[in-house]
Amino acid sequence: MHASLSQQEAALLDTLAALLPGDTRMEKDALRVLVGSKGFEMGRNYLNLRSYGVVEEQETAPGFFRRLIGAQPKHYVALTQTGRDRAKPSENVPTVEGSAAAPDPEPRLTSPAQSTLDGKAEAAKRTKAPAKAGNRQRPPARPRLDDFTETLGGAPRQEVAPLRDPIRLEGLAEMLGLTDFQLTPAGQMLAERRWAEGRRDSEVALEILLVAVAHAVRLDDVGMARLDRDVVKLFFAEVEKDFAHLVSAGELSGTYLAQSVGSALAMLGPDKAAQAQLSAILEDPLLGAAPPATCPDEFFLPEDLS
């Protein structure tokens, strides 16, 4: 037993030492599962070990654009040097009382008569009733010209039902706000449509940024604003760098990222290709109706802010 530690605290410390040998650290939720499989809980005894200085937690914050799609900080657990010195790890980690497996359920007793009845009932289920004679199958009705494709035998229509997820929308708006992009009702509608189509949060965030800037470019073209295009180009360069981590993690298609950033840089140019790219975005009824988000003030030259 460890001095100044209760029996339960000492047993938990030994368990942690067996799961975290040397300088090993482990994500807290994963460690909680392993500790639970040994019959322990990371509750009050764990908090006591932290207060004694034998266990420590380290928080790893996600990158900015990972926070944009809702990623949360992760907590990693490791033993301090004091904890490693005081622990007595063992392969046969002790378990708390009361964690034994539940006894086998009581066997069901059946009488011979009941067994016979059950057998007859089972045989009746396997026997199919013969079809009634004289029943003729009606020929299929002739399709009308105004029938849907499902009736005519074509491919079924893919109707996208609106998705209402206020918590998800609130998180998206909050994270966009960190870049001074303010989500609009049009952006909420766009996000809900894309989520209903099965698009990932990272793809939705990229599209909102792209379309919001497209509307700002259109305002610049018609003389209603003066967009600082160099600042916007630098912004998308940072977007490409940060979202590349999502590509490495398999949470975003590299092709989609390259196309989105390429489209943004193309429409910021002065040539006809920029106008073609801008028209391809804003002529879409869903994308061109209204900006999905307002751009930061830093995207515009100061004289336009008065």
Residue found by looking up tokens 């004679």 in the block: 133
Of 291, 165, 304, 156, residue with least CA distance to 228 = 304
Residue 73 has pLDDT above 70, yes or no: yes
Domain ranges of the chain: 7-86, 166-305
Q: Does residue 257 contact residue 244 with C-beta atoms inside 8 Å?
A: yes
For residues 67-93, give the mean pLDDT.
Answer: 73
Query: For 230-257, what is each residue's pLDDT tens digit?
Result: 999 999 998 888 888 888 888 888 999 9
Report the C-alpha gap between 21 and 90 in whole angstroms: 11
**How confident is residue 177, by pLDDT bands cut at 50, 70 and 90?**
confident
Lowest mean per-residue pLDDT among 36-50, 70-84, 182-196, 200-214: 70-84
**Average pLDDT in the chain:** 75
Q: Which CATH class is domain 7-86?
A: mainly alpha
Q: State the average pLDDT over residues 289-304.
A: 85
Contact 58, 25 (CB under 8 A): yes
Backbone dihedral region for residue 153 (phi beyond 0: left; psi -120 to 50: alpha; all else: beta): left
- Give the whole-number percent of the chain exceeding pLDDT 70: 69
pLDDT surpassing 60 at residue 151: no
Q: pLDDT at position 70, please? A: 54
In angstroms, the Cα distances linking 7 to 12, 14, 40, 92, 242 are 9, 11, 13, 16, 48
| pTM confidence score | 0.49
